Amino acid sequence: MENSEKKCGCFCHNFNGILIALLGLDFLLGRLGVISEQIVSIAWPVLLLLIGLKSSFGKGKCKCCKDS
């Protein structure tokens, strides 16, 4: 099977997308007044750091898939 055909649905492959969705939700809830601006100002940098760390250190760490 070619790499383009291989698709894994495990959590580790969806992690960045989930964090980006949480980032957007954080800003949306802040603008709607559901959560305070103080929480938004703390949460979005933390989410960006997690995305960056996952992108930097998470490559090749998936135990469910083998690199071809």
In a domain, 67, yes or no: no
Q: For residue 6, what pLDDT is reported? A: 61
3-state secondary structure of 67: coil
**Residue 68 pLDDT > 70:** no
Could you write out the DSSP letters of every residue in 10-59?
-HHHHHHHHHHHHHHHHHHHHHHTSS-HHHHHHHHHHHHHHHHHHHHH-T
Structural domain containing residue 17: 11-57
In a domain, 64, yes or no: no
**Residue 27 pLDDT > 80:** yes
In a domain, 65, yes or no: no
Average pLDDT over residues 39-54: 89
Six-digit token string for 37: 């601006």
How many structural domains is the chain composed of?
1
In a domain, 47, yes or no: yes
Q: Across all residues in the chain, what is the average pLDDT? A: 79
pLDDT in tens, 4-15: 556 677 777 777
In a domain, 22, yes or no: yes
Side chain identity at residue 9, one-letter code: G
Q: For residue 60, what pLDDT is reported? A: 63
Q: For residue 13, what pLDDT is reported? A: 74
In a domain, 1, yes or no: no
In a domain, 27, yes or no: yes
In a domain, 5, yes or no: no
